[in-house]
Structures are given as C-alpha cells and as structure tokens.
Amino acid sequence: MPGGAVGSRRLRSLSELEGCVLGHLWKHGPCTAYAVRRQFLDSPSSHWSGSAGAIYPLLARLEERGLVTSKRLPRGGRRGWTYALAPAGRTQFLRWLAPPVTADMVSLSVDPLRTRVYFLGALPARRREVFLTESIGKLRAHLADLASVSREDEFDRLAVEGATRMMKARLAWMEELRRALAGGKAPQRRRGARAARGKRRGG
Amino acid sequence: MPGGAVGSRRLRSLSELEGCVLGHLWKHGPCTAYAVRRQFLDSPSSHWSGSAGAIYPLLARLEERGLVTSKRLPRGGRRGWTYALAPAGRTQFLRWLAPPVTADMVSLSVDPLRTRVYFLGALPARRREVFLTESIGKLRAHLADLASVSREDEFDRLAVEGATRMMKARLAWMEELRRALAGGKAPQRRRGARAARGKRRGG
DNA sequence: GGACACATGTAATACGTTACATGATTTT
DNA sequence: AAAATCATGTAACGTATTACATGTGTCC
C-alpha cells in the first residue's frame, strides 16, 4: 500500500515490505539485492512481485535511513553490493515485529475471489459455474504448490502451515458455494431474474 | 496495487478497486461518491481505507473512460453528483467479474500476522507469547465483528461466510501455534540460543 | 447561533509496477 | 564467439494514502 507523508522520515515505522526485507537480512545474513528479490520471485503466494524497481530503491532508502549497510561485492568483477542489517535496522525490525498488534494486521486483506462472490448475481448461472469450477481447480493446484515451498526452519514451517490452512478453508468454502448454487436452492435462478434486476440499475 | 503504464488507457482492464466500485453501482443503483466510500469505511475487513483521495478521483477517471455517467444531485442545495453505471461500464464490469481466473486471484495476499511468524525466532519466548496472545484476542474480536456485517442478499451472505471461514482457520492456526511454542518442543528455547544466532547476523 | 459532525473535494507524497537498458556469466 | 540467461539497475507511470480546505446540515 502506497503510503502518504507520515511524520519525519527518520522515525517512520516500517512498511510490510521493508519489514520483510529486513527480516530476510536477519534470517539469512548479508546478501545482495537480487537474493532478496528471489525470495519474492520464488514464492508462489507472495503479494509482491519482487520487481527490481521495488527492491533496489527500497534497499537504497533503508541505507539512507541507516538501517542497512552496504559493501561492494568482494567476488569477481560483478558490480553491485551486499547489504547487511545495521544495529539500528535490527532495532527497527524488532520493533516492527513485536506488539502492539494493530487492527489492519488482523483484518483480512483483499481477496479477489471473495470480492467477486459479492457480485456473482450479475452472472448467469452457467457462467457462475464456469467461474467456480475454474477457481476451484486453480485453488487445488496452488495448494499443491504450497506443499513444496522451502522451509528452512521451524518458523517457516509454521508459517507455511498457516498459509495452507487458509487455502484449504478457502477451497472448502468455494466447493460448498458451488454445491449450494448448483443444487436446489440457487438464488435468482428462475426465469426473468436477470431482466428484473436489470431494471433497478442504471445501464 | 499501483499499476504501471499498461496498454492504451481505454482498453485497460479494471483494477480490483475499480471493479468493486462498479459492482457497488451495479448492486445498489446510482449513488454518490460518498455512498461508495461508506461501503469501504463501514466494512471491518476491507483492504482499502475508502479515503476520499481514492474514491473521488477514481470515479472521475471512470467517467472519463465512459464507464459511469454523472448527474447533479437533484435534492437540496448540496453540491455534488450521483454516479450511475453506463452500458460500457456494465460490460467492463462483467468482463472483470468473469473468467479467466488468473494466478494472482487464487494466491493468498499478504498477511501481516503470517509474515511475522516467519521471523518469530527473532523474539525471546516471552515476547512471542505476548504477540501470539494479543493476536489471538484481536482475531476473536474481529471474528465477532464479522458476524454483524450487513448481508443484503444471498451473495453477501456467501461472501461473508467465506471471510468467516478464513478468519476461523487463521485463528485455529495461531492457537495451535501458541500451544506448540509454549509446550514441550519449542524451538530455540535453550539458553544462549539468541546469542548464538546473533553471531550469524550483521548487527 | 456556535459547535460539531457530515459530505465533497484537492494537494502533496510515497512507492510498487511495467518496461527498458546494460553488463556479466554461462551455454552452445 | 554468438546466443541466451542472469544480475543490476533506471525511468516513467499510476494510484492509494494522509492531510488539509471548505461547504452544509443538525443539535444544544
């Protein structure tokens, strides 16, 4: 989420992405910007693309704030730097990691599938079924992918376990949804329902 | 997610927020920008803040693209407009709503709680417990809030059911996590673990 | 009739995205 | 050594956020 102007640059708390990057540095030790990118590039369920345009400037900003330090790459002719967590960065990272737990941390983020369910009444029954079937298929595939993501420590394992549980809940929900809509009591399936609703609307 | 320059402005597909706004217009008929804002303002688990700076310009852009039409408010001296879904907007909305289901629609978005679990090893056991306990408490409160959000139609009900299921999965996961970490086999609880890990890191 | 919330915007800012431009390394 | 891929960035862009400015209605 793009942030506005908040407080004096130095004291601003970390964004989620900044926290993740600092966390990577904490967990894996000094590394290049590209190694950080790869974490996002490789993850099947990362919200961020790990685009170069995000990571390189972000690390530059973190260095400007004194949260990381950089050294020229020692090996070979490759230009570029390795970044390491600075003491101030460690402090900020722990502050970001620890309580208090804010409201936006517990609330669900946007879910494109759920969002569309709100408006599923706009589709004829046939297309709804196609949508649900396709979603369920992709959900299953994604769940299978989750099983093979790397878990380098106990906490990775626990976190992936959480992701898996949520994916399973989402899948089960969509399966029930399909059953409910395909079965007897499908809402708005009687003839003329579409036209009748159309009159209420603008276009 | 902030988008880059993609294709010619006219043909660009809708962002999630644009889809939601058009969907609101489809579902509730013509209304003011503020009424749209309220949907986000009132929802306890919306990713978007519904800030004025997001909605007013967004509706202006949609009008520019011919997806909505506006009329001056008929009632009273209040300035401002009501927006209605235009035929082109309806078409685009249905295109946004329907298949194909893309990968980013099925993958889990960022979850601040889960993100932190990856790095929970950075906290001493005591602070971990505080974090988990506090999270669980807020999760329960949020779940209670979910029970009272408005459901104006069957699809609202189904969507909220999905949100509830995911929240419950998240809660159950965190409860188990707390049990696992508090109980016997807590990782890195032996003395000196922190210092030992510290040597690996930069700070 | 002043205080206060509601409603309607605008301004400045930050930042993640795509697309592009090179340089280095490996493959063929 | 030409081609392909990996790694390191930069540029332009869109857009959500916070903060502010102002007008309108309601409540004491």
A201 CB near a chain B CB, below 8 Å? yes
Contacts of A181 (CB under 8 A, 6+ apart): A120, A125, A128, A129, A132, A187
- Cross-chain residue pair A109–B111, CB shorter than 8 Å: yes
Selection from A171, A115, A165, A166 nearest residue A138 by Cα: A171
Report how far Cα B188 is from the mean position of its chain's Cα atoms: 34
**What is residue B93's predicted lDDT score, i.e. its pLDDT?**
97
CB B185, CB B177: distance < 8 Å? no
**What is residue A72's predicted lDDT score, i.e. its pLDDT?**
83
- Cross-chain residue pair A115–B19, CB shorter than 8 Å: yes
Query: What is the distance between the alpha carbons of residues A174 and A167, in angstroms, rounded to a whole number?
Result: 11
**What is residue A12's predicted lDDT score, i.e. its pLDDT?**
78
User: How does the average pLDDT of chain A come out, rounded?
Assistant: 85
Query: What is the distance between the alpha carbons of residues B90 and B129, in angstroms, rounded to a whole number?
Result: 50
Q: Which range, of A7-16, B11-20, B118-127, B163-172, averages the lowest pLDDT?
A: A7-16
Can you tell me whether residue A29 is helix, strand or coil? coil
Which tens digit of pLDDT belongs to each residue from A49-74? Answer: 999 999 999 999 999 999 999 988 76
Confidence of residue B46 (pLDDT cuts 50, 70, 90): confident
Selection from A74, A27, A58, A14 nearest residue B202 by Cα: A27
Confidence of residue B189 (pLDDT cuts 50, 70, 90): very low
Task: Check pLDDT > 90 for residue B176.
Answer: yes
Set of chain A residues whose Cβ sits within 8 Å of the Cβ of B136: none
Q: Which amino acid is at A122?
A: A
**Mean of the pLDDT values across residues A89-118?**
93
**Mean of the pLDDT values across residues B108-137?**
95
User: What share of chain A has pLDDT > 70, as a percent?
Assistant: 82
- Cross-chain residue pair A162–B117, CB shorter than 8 Å: yes
Which of A:93-132 have CB within 8 Å of B? Answer: 93-94, 97-101, 103-123, 127, 130-131
Gyration radius (Cα) of chain B, Å:
23
Which tens digit of pLDDT belongs to each residue from A147-202? Answer: 988 899 999 999 999 999 999 999 999 999 999 998 654 455 444 434 444 444 33
Pairing type for strands A31-32 and B68-72 reads unpaired
Q: Which residue has the higher pLDDT, A203 or A157?
A: A157
Can you tell me whether residue B81 is helix, strand or coil? strand
Measuring from the CA of residue A78 to each C1' atom, give the nucleotide at the shortest distance: C24
CB A178, CB A136: distance < 8 Å? yes
Can you tell me whether residue A103 is helix, strand or coil? helix
Task: Check pLDDT > 60 for residue B41.
Answer: yes
Pairing type for strands B68-72 and A68-72 reads unpaired
Query: What strand order describes the sheet that includes B31-32?
Result: B31-32, B81-85, B68-72
**Mean of the pLDDT values across residues A104-127?**
95
**What is residue B78's predicted lDDT score, i.e. its pLDDT?**
63
Question: Given phi > 0 = left and psi -120 to 50 = alpha, else beta, which region is A188?
Answer: left
**Mean of the pLDDT values across residues A28-33?**
94
User: What share of chain B has pLDDT > 90, as a percent?
Assistant: 69
Which tens digit of pLDDT belongs to each residue from A118-138? Answer: 999 999 999 999 999 999 999
**Mean of the pLDDT values across residues A75-99?**
87
DSSP E strand stretches across chain A = 31-32, 68-72, 81-85
Tally the residues of chain B: 203
**What is residue A194's predicted lDDT score, i.e. its pLDDT?**
42
CB A82, CB A70: distance < 8 Å? yes
Can you tell me whether residue B29 is helix, strand or coil? coil
Nucleotide D6: closest residue by CA–C1': A34
Quote the longest CA-to-CA distance of chain A. Answer: 72
For A187 and C28, how far is CA from C1' in angstroms?
61
